Amino acid sequence: MNGLIAHEELPEWVPGRLLSASDGLGWKQVASRSYHYDGQNVIVPAMRDFMLVSYSAGSTPMRRRFDGRWTHDTLGPGAASLLTRAQRAYWHWQEPIDVTHVYLSGVLVAEVASEVMDCSVSEVTLNDVLRADDPVMTAAIQAIAQEARVQGLGGPLYVDAMARGLVVHLLRRYASIRMPTARPSGTLSPREKRLIVEYIDAELAMPIDLKGMAEALGLRPCLFAKRFRQGFGKPPYAFVTARRLDRAKRLLATTDLPVKAVAADCGFTDQAHLTRMFSTAFGVTPAAFRRRAT
């Protein structure tokens, strides 16, 4: 779709005082900004991303026209709005309010939907909701915004996990997704299993996604995911994580590479990511495992 605006361009149409932002923090496919707005009558253009709004201070009657229909409600702390992507809407309010925006890319939402449905999803349309009394959505928005302010250890990884959980919640409550009427059967051949394991092992230090694995075998992502699960007994993401952890164990036991270097070589975001995943899987930290193995 052409003519969609990025969230950074929104103040050109909806002027406000920026309170905080995730700009420059290295987040991928998700962003957060908080604003103070005075009352105004504005057009929100069709946006590139889905936008979630949490109202943190002030209360105001809100009128909005979307898809040719006017709706109205009173919005204040505890309420949230959900704006679907690629749709223009008219907004009118009178009282000052503080809000937090979380922007989710269409790519991220489609990727999570593909994982949830175990089938390739190219695009998702979420319901456009003026007022949602949804504590799960509100808590997730505030947690992501808080990370933009405190910039804690492993921030991009933390936000990615929060955003993916939030997308699953949105898919459950605010999306209508049809499952395929016919699901392909079969499993990977022994040759395909060998090739995909070789591909995964060769790419472990790099990001590995469902599309890339499917293309390695010349399959559609939904067909690949189905056959992979049947062939290996677990979904592709879980298998890749297990291979990363196995490589980490070998490197920790047989080399003197720093744990940070081991994490990078195995495709973990950072040392803290490796430590958390390793401890969950094996009940011991990488450093403690190395001491026992040597």
Q: Closest Cα to residue 250, out of 282, 272, 276?
A: 282
pLDDT at 111: 85
- The neighbour count for residue 283, using CB atoms within 10 Å, is 9
- Identify the CATH number of the domain in which residue 27 sits: 2.60.120.280
Contact between 74 and 60 under an 8 Å Cβ cutoff? The reply is: yes
Q: Which domain holds residue 19?
A: 7-174
> Of 148, 174, 200, which closes a domain?
174
Q: Is residue 181 part of a domain?
A: no
Q: Are residues 148 and 288 in the same domain?
A: no
Q: Minimum mean pLDDT among 92-106, 217-231, 251-265: which range? A: 217-231
Summarize pLDDT for 112-143 with one digit per residue, the tens: 887 777 666 777 889 999 999 999 999 999 99
Last residue of a domain, one of 174, 198, 225: 174
Tell me: do 170 and 258 sit in the same domain.
Answer: no
- What's the mean pLDDT when you consider all of the chain? 91
Is 94 within the bounds of a domain? Answer: yes
Q: Is residue 86 domain-shared with residue 135, that is, in the same domain?
A: yes
- Both 166 and 195 in one domain: the answer is no
Cα 37 to Cα 15: distance, rounded to the nearest angstrom: 7
- One-letter amino acid for residue 289 of the chain: F
Residues 39 and 145 in one domain: yes
- Do 166 and 199 lie in a common domain? no
Q: Give the separation between CA 208 and CA 267, rounded to whole angstroms.
A: 9
Residue 184 within any structural domain of the chain: no
Asked if 241 and 283 sit in the same domain, the reply is: yes
How many structural domains is the chain composed of? Answer: 2
pLDDT surpassing 70 at residue 181:
no
Residue 139 and residue 108 in one domain: yes
CATH number (domain holding residue 249): 1.10.10.60
Same domain, 45 and 161: yes
Region 240-263 average pLDDT:
94
pTM of the model: 0.65
